[in-house]
Structure 1
Amino acid sequence: MYRDHSIGVVVPAYNEAGFIGDVIREMPAYVDSVFVVDDCSSDTTWDDVLEAARVDSNQHDGQPPRDTQSSDVPLATDGSGSVLARRATVHDAVGRVTPIQHHENLGAGGAIKTGYLAALEDGLDVTATVDGDGQMDLSQLSRLLDPIVDDDADYSKGNRLLYPEYRGAMPTFRFVGNTILTFLTKIASGYWKTMDPQNGYTAISHQALATVGVENMYEYYGYCNDLLVKLNVNGMRVADVAMPAVYGDEESSITYTRYVPNVSAMLFRNFLWRLKAKYLVLDFHPLALFYLLGAGTIGVGALGFSWTLYAKYALNDPLFVRTASSLLLVSIGSMFITLAMVFDLKESEDDEMAVFE
C-alpha cells in the first residue's frame, strides 16, 4: 500500500534476460502486485522472472497476502470469453508477483494491455508501468503516484525533456525522434503542454483505466500516445513528472522503418477520432470545423499551385495571379488551423500539470 492506496505495477518483458530479475527484486516494498508479462521471449527471461519472484517473495514474506481474484473472472469479452484469458496464461502469484505468459508475441503495447487487464481484474487503486530493461529509476515511482493519490491527476508519466541535463543524457537519435513525436502527439492528443509521450514510466488511476477502454488499446509501440488521446476525450487530468532515464547495455527492439509510419498513421487516425468524439459527438466546438476548413483550404491552395506550375511550363501561362491566389488560400487555411490549435489548447490547459523536483 502507498498512502492507503493499493498499487500495481505492470512490467512488459521481451528478451530481457539479465535485466528483468533486477527490476523485480528492486521493486519498492509498498507495491502490492507486480504483473510481469512475458511476450514470448526466446531467451531465459521467463526463468529469470520466476527466480526473481521467488527471491522477492522471500524478502517480503512478512507482508499480509494480497486479495486476488481468480484469473478466469472476465473483465471484458467479445462473446468468446475473457479477453485476458484469450491473450495469455495467468499463472499463480509468487508472493506479490503474478507471472503472465502471452500465447503469441503481441509487442510492447500488447504486453502493457495484458497487464492492464490483469490489474483491472484485481481492482487496484493505481497501476504503474515499468519497462523490464532496467532503464527506469524505481526510487522515482512515488513521484508518479503522488499526483494521483493527491487527486491532482488521473494519469502521470515521466518526462525526460523538462531539464537540459536529462535531455543531454538521451542518445541523439532518440532525442530527435522523441521531439518529432512530441509535437505530433500534442496535436493528436490535445495535451499541448505534455512532453516526452514515448515515456513508458507511467501511473494511472483505477477510474481512468476503467474508462479508456483498455480492450481496444493500440498494441504496437505508440500505445502511450494512443492512451493520451483516449484520456483527453474522457476529460482526464495528466501530470508530466520530470525525471531522468537510465541508459545501459539494453538493445532496442524497435524497427524504425516500421515504427515511424505506423505510429504516425495511428496518431492521424486518433486525431480525427478525437475531433469527432470530443467536439462533434460528446459536445460541440467550432474548432473541429476550423481544422476541417483549414486543411481543405490548404489542400485547394496546394493543388492550385501545382496546376500553376504545370500551366507555366506546359502551357506558358503567366504565374503571378494564380500563384498569388494559391498562396492566399494556403495563408487563410493556416490561420484557420492556428485558430483551431489555440482553441484546442484552451480546452485542455486545466487538465495538464508539470511536476518538477
Structure 2
Amino acid sequence: MSFLPSQQKPAIAVVIPSYRVRNHILAVLGQIGSEVTAIYVVDDACPEDTGRFVKEHVTDPRVNVLWNDQNLGVGGATLAGMKQAAADGADVIVKIDGDGQMDPALIPSFVGVILIGEADYAKGNRFFDPEGVASMPLGRLIGNAGLSFLAKMSTGYWHSFDPTNGFFAIHASLVGLLPLEKISRRFFFESDLLFRLNVLTARVVDVPMHSHYADEVSNMKPHREIPRFALAHLRNFGKRIFYNYFIRNFSIASLELVLGLALLLFGVVYGLSKWGTSVPATAGTVMIAALPIIVATQLLLAFINYDIQSVPRSTLHLRLKTSVQPMRALRHRDSMKHQHESSPSEPRDSGQV
C-alpha cells in the first residue's frame, strides 16, 4: 500500500459562523478565492436572517447555508459547519468570521502549512508584526495579550500566541477525534479547542496576519467574559496536567511537580506557624521553612521547563494516515476472510440422481 500524497486537488472548505454580519457577509464571500471548493455559511439563529439574505443574493455554487434552530454561539455555529464539511469529504477546513476582519486572501497560507505536513492546525497571530499590533484597539490589545499568557499555561502550546484568534485551519481527519460535544460553544471556543488539540498531541503553528477593524460590532462583553476565561483556563490547566503527567504518562516531571508542591506547602505552612510568636525564630527554624521553599521553586521551574519542551512537534494527521489506513486494510482483509470461512460450502456433485 502506498502512502504517497494523492495528486488529486485537495478539498478545502470554509466555515463562516454568521450572527449580525449581514452588512459584511457578501463582501467576505466575494473575496474567497478559487482554491476553496465549498463554503458553509452557518446562520446561528441570526436576528438579521443572514442565511436567507445570502441565499437571495449569492449565486456562487460553492456556498451552502446551514441554519441553527437556536443560537449556539460562535463555537456552536463553527462546529456545526465543521461537522458538515468533514461529512462532505473536506480535506482541510478553514474558519473565518463574517464581519470582514479577516482577509480571505490568507486562506492559502493557512491551508498550505497543513497540506505540506507541517501542522495539523494553523491559527492566526495578530501579534507577529508590530505594525499589525499598532492597528489593534488598545482594549483588545491588552485583553488578548493577557489571555494569551493564560492560554499558554492551560493549552500547553507555549510557543503559540493570540489564542482567541478565530482565523484557523484544521485537517479534517481531526474532527472525528475531537470530543465536539465537550468543546465550549461561546467565546472560549478557540482556547478550548487548543486544549483539546493538545490532549490529542496535534501540532499547532501560528500564521502571521493583520486584522481589519472598522464598523463591525463585537458581541463579547469583556467584563463578563474575562472572569469566565480565567476560570476556564484554570480548569483546563488542571485537566491537562493530570491527564498528560499522571494518566497518559508518568515521568520525572511528574515527580518534580508532586515533590515541588509538597515542599512548597510544607515550607509555607511551617513558616506561617512560626510567624509572629513571642519567641524569636532561630536560624534552624528559618532554614526549615526557607529551604523547602527554595527547593520547591527549583523543582517547579524544572517542571515548567519540561512542559514547555513537551509541545507536540510531530504532525498527527500524518501519523494517522500511516497507522489508520493499514489498520483498516487489515480489518477489511480479516472481515473478508471471516465471511469466506463462515459461508456454507458449495455441495459437490456426486454423480447420483
- TM-score normalised to structure 2 length: 0.79
Q: How does 1:54-93 map to 2 (within 5 A)?
A: 54-55=58-59, 57=60
Tell me the distance in 2 between the aligned counterparts of 1:223 and 1:318: 54
The alignment status of 1:216 with 2:207, answered yes or no, reads no
The alignment status of 1:255 with 2:255, answered yes or no, reads no
CA 1:285/1:51 → structure 2, altered by over 3 Å: closer, same or farther? Answer: farther
The alignment status of 1:49 with 2:54, answered yes or no, reads yes
Q: How does 1:1-357 map to 2 (within 5 A)?
A: 4-52=9-57, 54-55=58-59, 57=60, 95-303=61-269, 312=276, 316=278, 318=280, 326-348=289-311, 350-351=313-314
Tell me the distance in 2 between the aligned counterparts of 1:49 and 1:280: 49
User: Could you list the runs of 5+ residues in structure 1 that have no partner in the other structure?
Assistant: 58-94, 353-357
Q: CA RMSD in A?
A: 2.5
Tell me the distance in 2 between the aligned counterparts of 1:238 and 1:36: 25
Deviates more, 1:318-327 or 1:32-41: 318-327
Q: CA deviation at 1:349?
A: 6.1
CA 1:151/1:298 → structure 2, altered by over 3 Å: closer, same or farther? Answer: same
Deviations for 1:107-162, whole angstroms, at most 9, x for unmatched residues?
A: 11111121122122112100010011110011111100111111111110111111
Q: Secondary structure at the match of 2:74?
A: helix
Deviates more, 1:326-335 or 1:12-21: 326-335
Tell me the distance in 2 between the aligned counterparts of 1:299 and 1:108: 41
Higher gyration radius (CA):
2
User: Could you list the runs of 5+ residues in structure 2 that have no partner in the other structure?
Assistant: 1-6, 316-353
CA 1:288/1:179 → structure 2, altered by over 3 Å: closer, same or farther? Answer: farther
Work out the percentage of aligned pairs sharing the same amino acid.
31
- The residue type paired with residue 137 of structure 2 is P
- The residue type paired with residue 183 of structure 2 is M
CA 1:19/1:307 → structure 2, altered by over 3 Å: closer, same or farther? Answer: farther
Tell me the distance in 2 between the aligned counterparts of 1:221 and 1:329: 41
Deviates more, 1:341-350 or 1:13-22: 341-350
- The residue type paired with residue 13 of structure 1 is S
Deviates more, 1:167-176 or 1:152-161: 167-176
Deviates more, 1:207-216 or 1:234-243: 207-216
Matched-pair contact (CA < 8 Å) for 1:40–1:104: yes
Q: CA deviation at 1:325?
A: 5.3
Matched-pair contact (CA < 8 Å) for 1:155–1:208: no
Deviations for 1:274-322, whole angstroms, at most 9, x for unmatched residues?
A: 22322332332232343344345444545556556xx52xx65647877
Tell me the distance in 2 between the aligned counterparts of 1:238 and 1:273: 19
Matched-pair contact (CA < 8 Å) for 2:35–2:108: no
